[in-house]
Amino acid sequence: MTLADIAQALRAMQDWPVVQSVGQSAYGFPLLDAAHILFQAFVVGSIAALDLRLLGYAFVHRPVSELVRQILPWTWAAFAGASVTGGVLFILNVVKFVDNRAFLIKMVLMLLAGANMLAFHNGPYRNVDAWDLQMPPPRAARIAGALSLALWLGVVFFGRYLWYPWSNMAGF
């Protein structure tokens, strides 16, 4: 199966009756888009709270492990909601998104943010007990926090940018 075959299959999904009914509904698409934005805001906001703690700018008197334990379950739930609503938005707009540079950049940034999270949890966070309240946190934790914040802000930027007509211009 080639990339062209995958693109053709994705384009065919856009014609599914259930997808068409949501896309043509006076309220379906706006509600779906609003839900996606709210889920995304919660994902990025909750991750930013932890990232700012890693950078030493917020919640400095709270243990990192406590924030992780309290925030990440909500983050994952919101991420699931954002993934479902984003998936439906994608299917509704396959033709617009499948070759859109802004969309592709958003997806790459999300993958990089996930890789950064895995590196953090398999690296500095493994011995969080040694630095849980330390200010500033270890350099590797601060780098992970800064990188995470930058990547997720990029996801938000390109997620909003891709809706504009010029988002796939050749010069981009």
Kindly list the distances between the CA atom of residue 57 and the CA atoms of 30, 132, 161, in Å, as whole numbers in the listed order. 36, 15, 28
Say what percent of the chain tops pLDDT 70.
97
DSSP summary character for residue 137 = P
Q: Residue 43, exposed/middle/buried by CB under 10 A (0-12, 13-18, 19+)?
A: buried
**Predicted local confidence at residue 43, as pLDDT:** 97
**Predicted local confidence at residue 171, as pLDDT:** 54
In angstroms, the CA 46 to CA 74 distance is 8
- Assess contact for 39 and 77: CB atoms under 8 A: no
Q: What is the pLDDT of residues 91-119, one digit of tens each?
A: 888 877 877 888 999 999 999 999 999 99
Determine the average pLDDT of the residues in 15-39.
Answer: 85
Gap between the terminal Cα atoms of the chain: 29
Q: What is the pLDDT of residues 120-140, one digit of tens each?
A: 999 999 999 999 999 999 999
For residue 18 the two structure tokens come to 């259930």
In angstroms, the CA 19 to CA 12 distance is 11
